[in-house]
Amino acid sequence: MSFSNLLIKWYLQKKRDLPWRNTINPYLIWLSEIMLQQTRVAQGMPYFLSFTTAFPTVFDLAKANEEQVLKLWQGLGYYSRARNLHKTAQFVANELDGIFPDNYKDLLQLKGVGEYTAAAIASFSYNEVIPVVDGNVFRVLSRYFDIETDIASASAKKEFAALAFELMAKDNPALFNQAIMEFGALQCVPKSPNCSICIFNESCTALQKKKVDQLPVKSKKLKVRKRYFNYLVVTDELGNTIIQKRTAKGIWHNLYEFPLIETDKEEDFDCIAEQIQNDFFKGNSILSVTESNEQSIVHKLSHQHLYIKFWEVKIEGIIANGIDAKNLKTFPFPIVIHNFIERE
């Protein structure tokens, strides 16, 4: 039996029942693919269900305001995905009459849709004969064929896409693409796969050469930047606080946060208290400053590690434009701040 036929037979027996697999609606498939970028299915599933409940069509998503979208996205990370999602929904609804492009080339023109996502929508919605190459596909093919090309290199995508195209059943490319991605997610997993029960254990080249744990080859990531965030959680006589919107480009764009002191290293109480006294809340007397968490909360992003402390600042009088505890919870925050608020 050929690689493709054996793979599809396995898939039809072992596949997970996922809601975006039970449709060819490009809106739902696009939504799921954007959400599952850099995200495990178990983590993404509740968000997919929340979004499809709140915004059952692309028109519903287009009509929402950005803060609604960011609030629903809260905790999923990579917030530029949510902002691009919203802008693309508005473009499709308003400029394309709610109809998604029906081919890979035109799908690439949508904001936030790269080669992988365009291929996935073209394949799963329109059954276009195009390979969908993600980390799972890199792993399965590199092991089965003993390919040592660095998957982080510029040439890798083209090489693996060409091989996948050669292997796929041209009469049902969507089924092949789903099958090989699922095989990588469930069977040919990154660490310690159970090769003894694998359908390819007699033909997998990496297994024969005892190289499974060495493939795929991937060069090391860029150095991670460390940043030190000190959030000032202010409370006035009414119990109100203040927040601000992150308008600068970069992480958490258009999300909300407490007033922030960013430092070059982890600073002690005296240093932060002095900055608060000198630079903040000059219209009100500061009654007390308390360190909420002695140990920094380490929030890891793909390219940055944030060391976060919350400082509770009580002030005399009433803050202009203060926000009470109930309204505070309606704003979209980075998940680390959201969790702090929920704990209070």
Return the H-helix or E-strand segment holding 228.
strand 225-235
Is 33 noted as a catalytic residue in this protein?
A: yes
> Cβ neighbours of residue 76 under 8 Å, at least 6 residues apart?
35, 39, 43, 44, 47, 82
Asked if 124 and 29 count as a contact pair (C-beta separation under 8 A), the reply is yes
Tokens 């701040």 identify what position? 337
DSSP label at 241? B
Do the strands 225-235 and 304-315 form a parallel or antiparallel pair, or are they unpaired?
Answer: parallel
Burial of 191 (0-12, 13-18, 19+ CB in 10 A): exposed
Q: How many CB atoms lie within 10 A of CB 72?
A: 19
Question: How far is Cα 208 from Cα 200, in angstroms, rounded to an integer?
Answer: 11
| Residue 178: both structure tokens together | 């789903």
Asked if 247 and 83 count as a contact pair (C-beta separation under 8 A), the reply is no
Q: Indicate which residue of 33, 128, 182, 257 is catalytic.
A: 33
Question: What amino acid occupies position 160?
Answer: F
Question: How far is Cα 218 from Cα 202, in angstroms, rounded to an integer?
Answer: 25
Do the strands 297-300 and 304-315 form a parallel or antiparallel pair, or are they unpaired?
Answer: antiparallel
Catalytic center residues: 33
